[in-house]
């Protein structure tokens, strides 16, 4: 494609789309700063007020007295939005951070919308969004599009036709990408509730958010100030470490065992049997466990009585439950975890096993020297991701399986059950619940980065990033 001066523009060059990305971000920043964002019919003695992004960003509009009286501050939201846009611009110059600007752009649009929407309920009269915010959102969408195209061209060799060969796979990513944007990135501004003393003033979430006072980091204090902080933290971490380690062994063992079955129909039957528990709700599982552990009528206690042993009151004896939690977790999730390992084993080149068999290696040696080493990248990747969930507990496992018995509180208390119990009793606010969730997410993110850094020092080829 050529322009009027005879210069050619290479539409297959990622640099061209990176340039368009930066231009779109620069234009979006200008629009966000200068364009009319909202028209307000009346606030107090003022009428027909046009508010630009500059007014909101710098707080320099005739609405400022009304804002001060209400104790509201949309300027901070707009300033954060502007800084996120600047951060996206900076990241667009770093080739290895190709998809990072997308999150910042989406977050910036969401915060700008919150800031603009603020005026809609403040003056309680009809208002209309002007072309400014719409143009800004359009430029942000264009920037995201240029980012994806540039990133795709950077990572695929389009000159050899490899890009076209991946089009079907890229198209399959679209539903998941849309789901991720709608349900993961767009709700991100909700993390700000963790820094608010959130109260309900009306039906509108925006009204409740803006009228609620800022609490800073006070909401995070209840997690660490409670006497149970040490117990629930230790339980959460140790249980998850046990689940990760033993789950890895169980999942890999199931995957190897299933792939070693020569009869495919038999292998599918076994795989279905292992995978079926994953579809059962913890509510259903809790009743199954109760049928086994009930003191008077439970299957296990009836067997103990029949063999001359004393029955055990399982729901009054906390010493047994750490083991029971691990068994229940493995029973429910090991089959599901084995699917990825099974798919990896199936994809291993059969010529490797044939060559090993010719050299005299039996099946155990083939598993040890071929299957397990080939599974290493998958094992490392899944366990890096698992480390990010080490501060998140399976609520259904720890709450429903114990049926909420107080005698089992010390062994079943994890962060999730503690927050639920405090919320149900009315002792904490929504802001504190959000703070707990944000705390878990931030710690998980840090653990993923730390684990990935450790792996990069040991085995650079198997890192996540």
Helix (H) or strand (E) segment spanning residue 139: helix 131-155
pLDDT, tens only, 411-453: 999 988 888 888 777 767 788 888 888 888 888 888 888 888 8
354 lies in a domain? Answer: yes
Our count of domains for the chain comes to 2
For residues 120 and 40, membership in a common domain is answered with: yes
For residues 148 and 211, membership in a common domain is answered with: yes
**Which pLDDT score is estimated for 421?**
82
Better-scored residue on pLDDT, 405 or 465 = 405
Band (pLDDT 50/70/90 cuts) for residue 4 is: very low
Say if CB 189 and CB 111 are below 8 A apart: yes
pLDDT, tens only, 149-180: 877 777 665 555 555 666 777 778 888 888 88
| pLDDT mean across residues, the chain | 81
For residues 328 and 359, membership in a common domain is answered with: yes
**What does DSSP assign to residue 310?**
P
Domain ends where: 216, 244, 269? 216
1 lies in a domain? Answer: no
7 lies in a domain? Answer: no
The least confident of 67-71, 226-230, 273-277, 434-438 is 67-71
**Which pLDDT score is estimated for 54?**
76
- Looking at the DSSP bridge assignments, the partners of residue 128 are 39
pTM above 0.75, yes or no: no
Domain ends where: 164, 198, 216? 216
Domain ends where: 216, 249, 265? 216
Band (pLDDT 50/70/90 cuts) for residue 292 is: very high
410 lies in a domain? Answer: yes
For residues 179 and 208, membership in a common domain is answered with: yes
Instruction: Assign residue 251 the CATH number of its domain.
Output: 1.10.3720.10
241-269: string of b/e by CB count within 10 Å (b at 16+)?
A: ebbeeebbebbbebbbbbbeeeeeeebee
Write the DSSP string, 72-114: --HHHHHHHHHHHHHHHHHHTT-GGGTTHHHHHHHHHHHHHHH
| Residue whose pair of structure tokens reads 């490392």 in the numeric block | 380
For residues 142 and 19, membership in a common domain is answered with: yes
Quote the percentage of the chain above a pLDDT of 70. 83
Domain range for 229 is 222-462
For residues 97 and 187, membership in a common domain is answered with: yes
By CB atoms closer than 10 A (0-12, 13-18, 19+), residue 407 is: middle
For residues 337 and 404, membership in a common domain is answered with: yes
């Amino acid at each position: 494609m050529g322009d009027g001066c005879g210069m050619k523009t290479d539409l297959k060059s990622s640099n061209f789309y990176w340039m368009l990305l930066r231009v779109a971000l620069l234009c979006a920043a200008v629009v966000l700063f200068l364009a009319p964002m909202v028209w307000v019919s009346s606030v107090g003695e003022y009428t027909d007020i046009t508010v630009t992004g500059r007014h909101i960003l710098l707080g320099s509009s005739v609405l400022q007295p009304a804002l001060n009286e209400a104790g509201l501050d949309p300027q901070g939201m707009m300033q954060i939005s502007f800084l996120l846009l600047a951060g996206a611009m900076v990241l667009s110059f770093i080739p290895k951070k190709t998809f990072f600007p997308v999150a910042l752009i989406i977050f910036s649009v969401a915060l700008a919308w919150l800031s603009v929407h603020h005026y809609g309920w403040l003056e309680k009269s009809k208002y209309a969004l002007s072309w400014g915010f719409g143009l800004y959102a359009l430029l942000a969408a264009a920037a995201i599009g240029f980012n994806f195209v540039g990133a795709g061209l950077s990572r695929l060799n389009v000159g050899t036709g490899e890009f076209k060969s991946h089009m079907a796979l890229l198209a399959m990513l679209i539903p998941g990408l849309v789901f991720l944007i709608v349900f993961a990135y767009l709700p991100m501004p909700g993390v700000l509730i963790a820094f608010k003393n959130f109260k309900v003033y009306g039906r509108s979430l925006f009204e409740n958010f803006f009228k609620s006072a800022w609490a800073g980091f006070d909401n995070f204090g209840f997690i660490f100030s409670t006497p149970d902080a040490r117990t629930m933290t230790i339980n959460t971490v140790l249980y998850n470490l046990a689940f990760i380690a033993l789950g890895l062994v169980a999942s890999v063992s199931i995957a190897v065992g299933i792939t070693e079955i020569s009869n495919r129909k038999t292998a599918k039957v076994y795989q279905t049997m292992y995978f079926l528990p994953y579809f059962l709700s913890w509510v259903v599982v809790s009743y199954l466990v109760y049928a086994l552990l009930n003191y008077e009528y439970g299957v296990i206690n009836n067997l103990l009585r029949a063999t001359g042993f004393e029955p055990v009151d399982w729901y009054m004896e906390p010493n047994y439950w750490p083991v029971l939690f691990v068994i229940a977790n493995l029973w429910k999730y090991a089959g599901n975890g084995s699917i990825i390992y099974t798919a990896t084993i199936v994809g291993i080149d059969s010529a490797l096993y044939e060559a090993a068999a010719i050299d005299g290696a039996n099946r155990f040696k083939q598993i040890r020297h071929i299957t397990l080493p080939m599974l290493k990248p998958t094992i490392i990747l899944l366990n890096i991701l698992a480390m990010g969930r080490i501060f998140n507990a399976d609520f259904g496992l720890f709450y429903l399986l114990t049926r909420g018995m107080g005698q089992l509180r010390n062994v079943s208390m994890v962060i999730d059950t503690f927050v639920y119990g405090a919320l149900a009793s009315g002792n904490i606010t929504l802001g504190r619940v959000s703070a707990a969730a944000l705390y878990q997410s931030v710690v998980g993110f840090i653990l993923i980065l730390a684990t990935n850094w450790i792996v990069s020092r040991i085995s650079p080829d198997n890192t996540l990033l």
